[in-house]
């Protein structure tokens, strides 16, 4: 066995072991810190702690996979899953649902009440999912497809800024709704249920299978689009499919847990700094890394300052931002040594 293969096995085993350890710790993390007196069949463990722990890992895996796809498709290590405007779109959907819900009881009657009723049936999770997909479709419409990478990036930035401003404007009209909106913007795993875990698990499995099947495109794109086409790859078709997979992963994770910062950006970085493998294997490791990162942050959010619960998105931002600052610092030091 070569040293490269051995390194891949070691990293995979470490991530799997970390997943199991964090899963066990997540079962004991509660409002009074780590509690071991509750049995595995206790309703608190089965209905609250288990869905939050497993759901956090699945959401992190979705964001890790989406981040790996984004960085591979755009050939940019700073690309993240929210690049196409999915996060601001989801936030705008939730803001619309909250505002219309607060108005619906006394300002909408008759046929004008159907949007409120429809949003009520979808729920905040469904509205966030629809909003994320709507933002992605708007970005693709403005970019006129997926052929021009720079246009696609610019369209994503513009859509994100405009939708974010619309969300802020809506919330400014309803200050009383800020606490509910803040939970979504800062990331929150308290909404996760067993059904949420099943849905995210199915999406993650199908998305990873698609990424594994089409990973040759991203390996070819590292050599340039012209080279990829000369190798017989249908760049346009495969890019469209992988962008759809990225959008599906991001929308699903955001709809269930709110806006989780840095996980999708940092997880592929950590994988690349550990091993050098083809995208098919890198995508699997990014799933494991993203799951471990968010599961760790979720456990700390519940137990660090118990009984007060911290926003999980704030912890991921601190963890991810600290790692990137360290990488930037070490890169500048090494660059100074060369010069």
What share of the chain has pLDDT > 70, as a percent? 83
Q: How confident is the model at residue 138 (pLDDT cuts 50, 70, 90)?
A: very high
- Residue 235: pLDDT above 80? no
- Residue 305: pLDDT above 90? no
Q: DSSP letter for 222, please.
A: T
pLDDT of the residue at 206: 94
Please report, for the chain, the start and end positions of each structural domain, with discontinuous segments joined by +: 3-338
Q: Taking residues 305-323, what's their average pLDDT? A: 87
pLDDT of the residue at 207: 94
pLDDT of the residue at 204: 96
pLDDT of the residue at 5: 79
Q: What is the pLDDT of residues 26-69, one digit of tens each?
A: 888 776 767 766 666 777 788 888 899 999 999 999 999 999 99
Structurally, at CATH architecture level, domain 3-338 sits in Orthogonal Bundle (1.10)
33 three-class SS: strand
What pTM was estimated for this model as a whole?
0.86
> If you average pLDDT over every residue of the chain, what do you get?
82
Q: What is the pLDDT of residues 237-252, one digit of tens each?
A: 777 888 889 999 999 9
- Residue 295: pLDDT above 90? yes
pLDDT of the residue at 224: 62
Query: Which has more confidence, 85 or 111?
Result: 85
Q: Taking residues 103-117, what's their average pLDDT? A: 46
- Residue 312: pLDDT above 50? yes
Q: Cα separation of 152 and 142, whole Å? A: 8
pLDDT of the residue at 76: 81
- Residue 120: pLDDT above 60? no
Question: Which ranges of the chain does DSSP label H, i.e. alpha helix?
Answer: 3-28, 43-44, 50-73, 86-107, 114-143, 149-173, 178-186, 194-213, 215-221, 225-230, 235-257, 263-274, 279-303, 312-338
Q: How confident is the model at residue 205 (pLDDT cuts 50, 70, 90)?
A: very high
Q: Cα separation of 284 and 293, whole Å? A: 14
pLDDT of the residue at 6: 85
Q: How confident is the model at residue 97 (pLDDT cuts 50, 70, 90)?
A: confident
């Amino acid at each position: 066995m070569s040293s490269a293969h051995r390194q891949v096995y070691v990293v995979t085993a470490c991530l799997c072991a970390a997943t199991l350890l964090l899963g066990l710790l997540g079962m004991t993390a509660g409002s009074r810190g780590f509690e071991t007196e509750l049995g595995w069949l206790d309703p608190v463990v089965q209905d609250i702690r288990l869905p939050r722990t497993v759901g956090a890992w699945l959401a992190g895996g979705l964001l890790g996979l989406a981040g790996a796809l984004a960085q591979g498709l755009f050939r940019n290590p700073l690309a993240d899953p929210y690049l196409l405007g999915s996060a601001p779109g989801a936030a705008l959907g939730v803001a619309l649902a909250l505002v219309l819900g607060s108005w619906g009881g006394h300002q909408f009657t008759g046929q004008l009440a159907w949007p409120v009723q429809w949003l009520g049936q979808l729920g905040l999770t469904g509205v966030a999912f629809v909003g994320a997909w709507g933002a992605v479709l708007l970005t693709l419409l403005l970019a006129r497809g997926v052929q021009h990478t720079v246009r696609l990036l610019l369209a994503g930035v513009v859509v994100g800024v405009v939708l974010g401003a619309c969300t802020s404007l809506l919330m400014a009209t309803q200050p009383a709704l800020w606490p509910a909106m803040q939970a979504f913007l800062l990331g929150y795993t308290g909404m996760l249920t067993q059904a949420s875990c099943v849905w995210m698990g199915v999406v993650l499995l199908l998305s990873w299978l698609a990424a594994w099947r089409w990973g040759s495109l991203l390996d070819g794109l590292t050599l340039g689009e012209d080279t990829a086409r000369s190798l017989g790859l249908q760049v346009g078709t495969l890019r469209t499919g992988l962008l759809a997979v990225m959008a599906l992963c991001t929308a699903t994770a955001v709809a269930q847990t709110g806006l989780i910062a840095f996980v999708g950006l940092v997880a592929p970085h950590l994988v690349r700094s550990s091993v050098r493998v083809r995208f098919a294997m890198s995508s699997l490791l990014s799933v494991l890394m993203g799951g471990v990162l968010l599961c760790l942050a979720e456990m700390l959010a519940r137990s660090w300052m118990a009984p007060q619960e911290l926003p999980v998105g704030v912890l991921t931002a601190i963890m991810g931002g600290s790692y990137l600052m360290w990488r930037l610092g070490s890169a500048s030091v090494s660059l100074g040594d060369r010069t």
